Structure formats: C-alpha cells, structure tokens
C-alpha cells in the first residue's frame, strides 16, 4: 500500500544525479510510477535528461513518454527510430499511442504504423483519421459493447470471458446491429440487476455523448460540466467509434488553465528548455520590447527643451509611466484570464469595462494626489501638483481601456489574446504617460 | 442524449438578461447542468448575480453552490440563514456539504449542523473533525465495505439490495472486523469472478491510499500520479474513514495551476469582483508600486546635474529600465511557475540560474549593441554607445538574478513566492538600470 507522501522525489533524484549514483537512480525508477519518472525528467536540465532517460526501464518507456509534456517528449522521440517507437508504445492504449506519435513527421508516422502489431495499427489508424485536437484523436476505439436484446446474464458471462477489461471502465455501451449507440449500462447496474433482465430495459438512454469532430475544448467542457468518468464518441450518424476517459481530459484541462499565464509572459511549457532555444525566444520578446520602448522614448525626445528647463520632470516621469504599466497589466491579466475561462462575453464586457474604468479613475486620482503632494514638497514647486494629477489619472484611464481592448483586438485579428499583450499595453501607458505629463508641463512651464 | 456543444450559454444568458427576459432564463436554467448555471453566475456582475440567483430552482441551489468558486459562493451564502443552508444542501454528499459550509463563521456552522438531518450531521461532523485543506475534509465518509471472508455471491447479493450505490463508485473496500482496510475489489473484478470465490482471495492488496491528515496537494499528486478514479482515506491505524473521487480533485488541480498567474498579477479568483473590493485590492498594489517607483526616481534625482548637461540621457534611460523589467518579469514567471509545479528544487536551481544568466547576458549584449548604434546616430554622440552596452548588460544580469532569487527569498520568509514578486523585481531593474546608466554617464560626461 503506497501512501501519498510529500517527499520530493525530484529533489532526491537531482541529489543522486550530482553524486553520479546512476545505478541507485535506476533502482529508484523501478519503484516509481511513470508519472513520477516523467516529472523527474521534466525537472532536469537537457543533459541530465539524456542521462536519466538511459536509466528508465525499457518496459516503462512508453508509459513515461505518455506522461511527458510535448516539448520534452519530442526531445526523446527525436533520438528514436520508427521501430523503437512502435516497440516502446506497444502496450499503450491506442489514444495514448496517437498522442505520442502525432507530433512526428508524416513519413515517420507511416513507418511507425508499419512497425506496429496489426491490432494496434488498426486502432491507431482509426484515431489518426480524425483531425488533431478533436475527440476522434483523443478517443480509445477499444470499447465493450452489448446488444439491446442481451440479458444481464449473457452480459455478465461475456464480461467474465473477456481477458482484460479496458482500464477505468465504468460502463458498457449498448449498440444495435449497425453499431448505432442506443444507451449505456453502468457496471453498478449490471451488478445489481436481475439476471433475466434485458439491456434495452435497463440501459440509460439519456446520457452525454461526443462527436468525433468535437474540439478538445468541447470535450473538456462536457466532462467538467457533468462530472463524467467516461463518455462515448460517435460519428454524425450516431455510430459508436470509441470512448474518452477522464484521465485523458485532466491534462488538457490543466493545459487550458496554464496557457494564459505562459503566453502573457512569453514562456515555453518547458521550464528546463535548452539554453539556445530560450535565448532565441526571449531575445525576440526583448527585441519587440526595444522597438516599443524606442517609441516611448521618441515621445520624451519631443520635450527635451522642457526637461532641460525643469530638470526634475525627468525624475518624476518614470513614476507616471510605471503606475500606468502596473494598472494596465492587471486589467490585461483579468481580461486574458476571463476570455480563456470563457467568462467574459460580449454581454458582460460593458460591466467589466465600466468597473475597470471606475477602479482606474479613483485609484489614479487618489495616488496622484499622494504623489503630487510628495513631489510638490520634494521639488518645492506647486505647479507640478496639478500636472501629476492630470497626467496620472489620464494614464490610468488609458491603462484600463488598453488592458481590455488590446486582447480583444488581438483575438479579433485571430492572434492569441495573451501573446504580446503585455508589451503592447505597457507601450500605450508609457506613451500616454510621457506625452500627457511632459506635454502639460511644456505648457505650464513655457 | 446531450451533445457536447460550443455554443456559449453564458453569452445567451447575458443577452436575455439585458432584455430582462427573466422567465426565459428560468426556463433555460431548468435544462442546464448545475455547472453551467454556476458558470453563468460567475460570468455576471454582482447585481446580475442577485437577479440570476432568484431564477435558480430551489432543488438545484445546493448543487449550484457546490460548483461555484469560493468568492461567488460566499456572496450567496451571506444572504442565507442556517436553516436555508441546511435545506438546499440536504441532498449533496457529505464532502460537498462540508466544502460549502466550511467557510462560514463557527457559530453559523453549528446552527447549520443543528438544522440538518441526523444522517447528514453524522457524516458532515466526521469530515469537519479534520483540519481544513486535508484529505479528511475532502473525503466522502459514505463507503461500501465488505469482509475478507465474503464470497463474490454474497457481495453481489449485498450490492443488489443496497438502494443506491455512491456516485462514481468503481470499487468496494475490504475491511476486517475492526474496520481496518485490507484491500479493494474493483467492480470489474466482482463482475468477472466466479461466485464461489472469496473477497480475500480476489482483492487487490497493493493499492494507493491516503491518510486523513494528507494535504490537498498530496491528494492531487496521488491522483495525478496514478490516474486514480477514487482512493480510500484511512487514519494512522489503517482504519477506513471514507473515499475521495476524481471530481473532488479536478477543481483543486485547476486551482493549483491558476494560482501563480493570479498571484503574480495580484488578481482575485473572481473576474467579476465587486467594484469596491477591486478598487481596494488594486489600490494597495498600486500604492506598493508608487513606493518602489519613488525609490527608483530618487536614484535619478542623484544625477540631475548629469541629465541637465546631457539631456538625451533622459530620453534613453527608460529604455534601459524597461528592457531589464521585461527580462526580470520573464525569469520571475519561470521561477514562480516552476516552484508551483514542484519542478524547481535545490538540485536543479543552479542549472536554471546559469541558463537565465547566459540568456540574459547574451540578449543584453546583443540588444544593447543594437540600441547603442541607434542612440549613437540618433544623438550624434559616440560615448553613449559604450555606456548603453555596459549599463544594459549589467541590468539584464541583475534581472536574471532578481527574477530567480526574489521568489526564493519570499518563499523562505513564508510568503507566497508569487505575491508582490513582479513589483519587487521591476524595482530592482529600475534602480540598477538608472544607477548604472546615469552613474557611468556622470563619469564619462563629467
């Protein structure tokens, strides 16, 4: 009996790695679940990943691949040939095999299919015939079916002779002779019914079902919405094609929640991404920021004379920009998260916008009065008081407007609302902040 | 049969709300799952929430409360008295009732318990005897148990006479006469075994089990790690207390992934948080930023003379600070996410730190050369070239160091590594950026 414990296996493995105790790690891996082995690999640098992978028992390599995130899985798959891929995934369920091989190049997929057992090839090809990111790709085509006319006794006998029932099976499906899905029978019902009763009299006729063309997001919603353990997948004619179970869905739900955070900061899913890849992706991000920062600077450049005359403006101007940036980033994060969770829709957008404007206006007014007082006494100048109140309040209003509208515009243009949003909103608040602050100052101190 | 569809129910409800078609919404609610009704409430402004809540059928109010996030649930609970709470939650499972009432004040909880049926009171009190956020609080104490000596026939008969089997039941538990957990029998096994076989000969003895004192995080990990549908909960002596099912775990896994994003931006879980509450929480965040921005400004203040002499320094200095801010925020996000996912541990911290330093150094060098060239030609000054390269590279190194060390220090001080991290790291890069840039300039242009 294994107790759920908090001891960080990952920590232990990293420790043994630095001591180069490889055989000890091999032994640890033998008693760890594929999930934990995958976590250990994901929590390692690229070099250590290669070393650790060599210590994974060949028989669990397939299951470990199945647990890895796409990026880290790619890392290992790229060093395997088609026969190896077919071998290590041999004992996985069809949907798991598909998830692993679907990222490979077309030609390699064909080779892997050729190297598979004919049983696996048949099931996997069925899934691959559907588009990526659909229920058809996620389903396991291996389902237990019975006929409406079967009695409970027949069904029980049938289940008894089948070698192995699919993992996580909680019900059998009832289909007619054309394989059209008619209902389902939970195992609890099969257990508690009288043996003479018929499937058609006992089966549940009203239940949740997916189309093979439904998107991953639709699958997630159906499971979440109805607390399902499994759901059947059919084609448009109602023909049963396979089933999806909750464990296929959890990863996808996690990814959905994780994505906005990663994208708003421009991060890879892989924390231990190789240095060169990180250098390139973050370099692009910084380059984009350089361009926008130059835009903001060119605004300052317009007011060189004013700054020369009243030098403390240079001291204060970053504060106006910074307050706007913080407010805009918060509104942006709310909007991106609300859009990702499907909470913000056109009908309630106005309320969110008006709340953000109210919050920004009052916070702008309040904190600009505080800053105005500080600045007036600091620089013994009382004109600056009103300049700060005016420019900071305007900038916080601009922050609310851009924090909401920029992700919406990005989405309209078919970009992801999160990507690049942060860089754009802070450019807006930098430009508005510098322009109003220095612009008004240039009039007042003219 | 319900098809998983993509039509936004939330969108439709918001539309009918603006048209004040309340009876139509009431009708829609009647055919919606509690999850969807809860989503509609969460996607509404506080005023609309009150209106919508009145349209929810009394019989599903309990299930809807169960689906809501803590903040929105509080919003409705605060307007209900103890008897009402007991009534609407009457048909929920004990763990669901506990999740709803545990946020209420002590006294109200006692009143709600008094108003419950004695059966519910017994089960709920059992859960409440464990600390908040533990497996004991999450478990459903209603479990189906059999004895080791029972034959499959006896077990089948027993399951047949029980009215209703617990939702999502996938196995029965085998306990001895002292209620000590000995093993479990999956329903698939009960179905396929011979009727004369005994529980003790068939039962699975090696399985995953939780202690009532395990934390929510430990529960999540056990389920994720082993793809469980349900797990038994015992006390330290191995006595069976209840079971936890996957649907109790999904919400908690989602929350775990969502939390770093919310905290790093200082957001409430509730997108439609009331204006006043948003004003206050965001005001505090802006206030904190004002203090740190003043610190950065006081650095600029030291170099007023230099700026007065070379006015274009004021134009360029925000760029140095901004590039550092972007780099620091990215490193911070990686660190916070890696810590939250349990990927970053002391053994691999050095690798992450060295990768971030390498990435920051080369990006700093590369982009500062670009900026240096632009600035040299823009202001026809070639001293600025080296000043920019020096200060921006230093600032990006400071960004990597602070982005990693600040969340670690916050965690050491028992703060959440995400909270406030963003404000602190950008202060560091502002200060370092202004200081190195203006400091070197003051020497060069002295």
pLDDT (tens, 9 = 90+) of chain B, 446 residues, equals 344 334 478 888 888 998 999 999 999 999 898 988 998 999 999 999 999 999 999 999 999 999 998 889 988 998 899 999 999 999 898 999 999 999 899 899 999 999 999 989 999 999 999 999 999 999 999 898 999 999 998 998 888 887 677 767 888 999 999 999 999 998 888 888 888 999 999 999 988 999 999 999 899 989 988 888 889 999 999 999 999 998 889 888 888 888 888 888 788 888 899 999 999 999 999 999 999 999 999 999 999 999 999 999 999 999 999 999 999 999 999 999 898 888 888 888 999 999 999 999 999 999 999 999 999 999 999 999 999 999 999 999 999 999 999 999 988 888 877 777 888 899 999 999 999 999 999 999 98
| CB-CB under 8 Å, B371 with A159 | no
Q: How many whole angstroms separate alpha carbon B21 and alpha carbon B19?
A: 5
Burial B132-147 (b: 16+ CB within 10 A, else e): eebbbbbbbbbbbebe
Tell me the three state secondary structure of residue A437.
Answer: helix
When CB atoms are compared, the residue of A156, A215, A345 closest to B43 is: A345
State how far residue A384 is from chain B, nearest Cα, in angstroms.
15
Query: What's the pTM value of the predicted model, to 2 decimals?
Result: 0.87
Q: Which two tokens stand for residue A137?
A: 């790709």
| CB-CB under 8 Å, A43 with B345 | yes
| CB-CB under 8 Å, B304 with A359 | no
Helix A34-42 / helix B216-226 crossing angle, nearest 10 deg: 110
State how far residue B335 is from chain A, nearest Cα, in angstroms.
8
Residues of A in contact with B214 (CB under 8 A): 3-4
Give residue B54's pLDDT: 93
| CB-CB under 8 Å, B160 with A342 | no
Which helix (H) or strand (E) covers residue A175, if one does? strand A171-175
Residues of A in contact with B207 (CB under 8 A): 1-2
Q: Which of B63, B233, B326 to mutate to test the interface with A (most CBs of A within 10 A)?
A: B326
- pLDDT confidence bin for A163, thresholds 50/70/90: low
| CB-CB under 8 Å, B321 with A283 | no
Give residue A4's pLDDT: 37
Q: How many whole angstroms separate alpha carbon A282 and alpha carbon A292?
A: 16
Residues of A in contact with B290 (CB under 8 A): 319, 323, 367, 370-371
| CB-CB under 8 Å, A355 with B14 | no
Residues of A in contact with B260 (CB under 8 A): 261
Give yes or no for a contact between B420 and B263, defined as CB atoms under 8 angstroms apart: no
In SS3 terms, chain B reads as: CEECCCCCHHHHHHHHHHCCCHHHHHHHHHCCCHHHHHHHHHCCCHHHHHHHHHCCCHHHHHHHHHHCCHHHHHHHHCCCCHHHHHHHCCCCCHHHHHHHHCCCCHHHHHHHHHHCCHHHHHHHHHHHCCCCCEHHHHCECCCCEECCCCEHHHHHHHHHHCCCCCCCCCEEEEECCCCEEEEEEEHHHHHHCCCCCEHHHHCECCCEEEECCCEHHHHHHHHHHHCCCEEEEECCCCEEEEEEEHHHHHHHHHHHHHHHHHHHHCCCCCCCCCHHHHHHHHHHHHHHHHHHHHHHHHHHHHCHHHHHHCCHHHHHHHHHHHHHHHHHHHHHHHHHHHHHCCCCCHHHHHHHHHHHHHHHHHHHHHHHHHHHHHHHHHCCCCHHHHHHHHHHHHHHHHHHHHHHHHHHHHHHCCCCCCCCHHHHHHHHHHHHHHHHHHHHHHHHCC
Size of interface A-B (CB pairs under 8 A): 392
State how far residue A114 is from chain B, nearest Cα, in angstroms.
30
- Residues A176-230 pLDDT 10s: 999 999 999 988 888 888 889 999 999 999 889 999 999 998 999 899 888 888 8
Tell me the three state secondary structure of residue A239.
Answer: strand
Q: For tokens 């996000």, what's the residue?
A: B333
Nearest to A334 by CA among A408, A269, A393: A408
Q: How many whole angstroms separate alpha carbon A351 and alpha carbon B260?
A: 26
Residues of A in contact with B210 (CB under 8 A): 3-4
Give residue A363's pLDDT: 96
The dihedral through the CA atoms of B276, B277, B278, B280 has a sign that is positive
Give residue B5's pLDDT: 39
Give residue B3's pLDDT: 40
When CB atoms are compared, the residue of B3, B272, B289 closest to A326 is: B289
Q: Which two tokens stand for residue A102?
A: 């679907």
ipTM above 0.85 for this complex = yes
- pLDDT confidence bin for A423, thresholds 50/70/90: confident
Give residue A2's pLDDT: 40
When CB atoms are compared, the residue of A35, A43, A315 closest to B301 is: A315
When CB atoms are compared, the residue of B260, B266, B283 closest to A261 is: B260
| CB-CB under 8 Å, A285 with B343 | no
- Residue B343 CA: distances (Å) to CA of A257, A344, B334: 18, 32, 10
- pLDDT confidence bin for A6, thresholds 50/70/90: very low
| CB-CB under 8 Å, B286 with A363 | yes
- Residues A361-388 pLDDT 10s: 999 999 999 999 999 999 999 999 999 9
Q: How many whole angstroms separate alpha carbon A242 and alpha carbon A141?
A: 4
Least confident window among A29-43, A168-182, A257-271, A277-291: A257-271
Q: Which of A44, A314, A338, A352 to mutate to test the interface with B (most CBs of B within 10 A)?
A: A314
Q: For tokens 């990702």, what's the residue?
A: A340
Q: Is the pLDDT of residue A119 over 60?
A: yes
All domains in chain B, ordered by first residue? 9-131 (1.25.60.10), 145-245 (3.10.580.10), 274-444 (1.10.357.20)
Q: How many whole angstroms separate alpha carbon B58 and alpha carbon B69?
A: 19
State how far residue A106 is from chain B, nearest Cα, in angstroms.
30
Closest residue on chain B to A19 (Cα): B347
Q: How many whole angstroms separate alpha carbon A200 and alpha carbon A404?
A: 53
Q: Is the pLDDT of residue A429 over 70?
A: yes
Residues of A in contact with B203 (CB under 8 A): none
Give residue B2's pLDDT: 40
Backbone torsion region of residue B149, taken as left when φ is above 0, otherwise alpha when ψ lies between -120 and 50, otherwise beta: alpha
């Amino acid at each position: 009996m294994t107790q759920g414990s908090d001891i960080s296996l990952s920590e232990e493995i990293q420790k043994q790695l630095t001591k180069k105790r490889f055989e000890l790690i091999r032994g640890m891996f033998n008693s760890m679940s594929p999930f934990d082995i995958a976590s250990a690999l994901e929590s390692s640098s690229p070099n250590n990943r290669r070393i650790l992978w060599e210590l994974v028992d060949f028989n669990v390599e397939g299951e470990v691949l199945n647990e890895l995130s796409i990026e880290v899985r790619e890392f290992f798959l790229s060093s395997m040939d088609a026969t190896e891929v077919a071998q290590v995934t041999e004992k996985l369920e069809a949907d798991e095999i598909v998830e692993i091989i679907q990222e490979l190049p077309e030609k390699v997929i064909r080779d892997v299919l050729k190297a598979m057992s004919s049983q696996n090839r048949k099931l996997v090809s069925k899934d691959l015939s559907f588009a990526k990111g659909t229920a058809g790709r996620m389903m396991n085509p291996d389902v237990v079916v019975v006929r409406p006319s079967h009695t409970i006794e027949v069904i029980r006998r049938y289940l008894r002779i089948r070698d192995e029932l699919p993992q996580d099976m909680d019900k059998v499906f009832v289909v007619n002779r054309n394989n059209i899905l008619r209902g389902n029978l939970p195992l609890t019902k099969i257990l508690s019914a009288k043996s003479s009763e018929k499937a058609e009299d006992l089966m549940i006729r009203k239940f949740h079902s997916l189309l093979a063309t439904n998107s991953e997001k639709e699958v997630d919603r159906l499971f979440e919405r109805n607390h399902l353990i499994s759901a059947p997948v059919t084609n448009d004619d109602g023909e049963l094609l396979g089933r999806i179970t909750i464990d296929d869905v959890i990863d996808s739900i996690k990814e959905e929640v994780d994505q906005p955070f990663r994208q708003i900061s421009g991060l890879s899913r892989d924390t231990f991404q190789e240095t060169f890849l990180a250098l390139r992706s973050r370099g692009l991000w910084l380059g984009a920021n350089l361009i926008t920062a130059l835009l903001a600077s060119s605004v300052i450049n317009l007011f060189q004379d004013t700054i020369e005359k009243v030098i403390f403006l240079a001291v204060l101007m970053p504060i106006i920009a910074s307050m706007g940036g913080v407010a805009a980033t918060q509104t942006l994060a709310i909007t991106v998260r609300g859009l990702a969770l499907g909470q913000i829709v056109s009908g309630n957008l106005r309320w969110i916008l008006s709340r953000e404007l109210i919050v920004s206006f009052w916070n702008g007014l309040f904190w600009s009065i505080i800053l105005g007082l500080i600045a007036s006494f600091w620089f013994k100048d009382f004109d600056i008081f009103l300049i700060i109140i005016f420019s900071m309040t305007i900038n916080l209003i601009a922050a609310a407007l851009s924090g909401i509208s920029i992700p919406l515009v990005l989405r309209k243009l078919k970009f992801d609302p999160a990507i690049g949003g942060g860089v754009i909103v802070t450019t807006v608040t930098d430009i508005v902040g510098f322009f109003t602050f220095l612009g008004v100052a240039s009039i007042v101190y003219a």
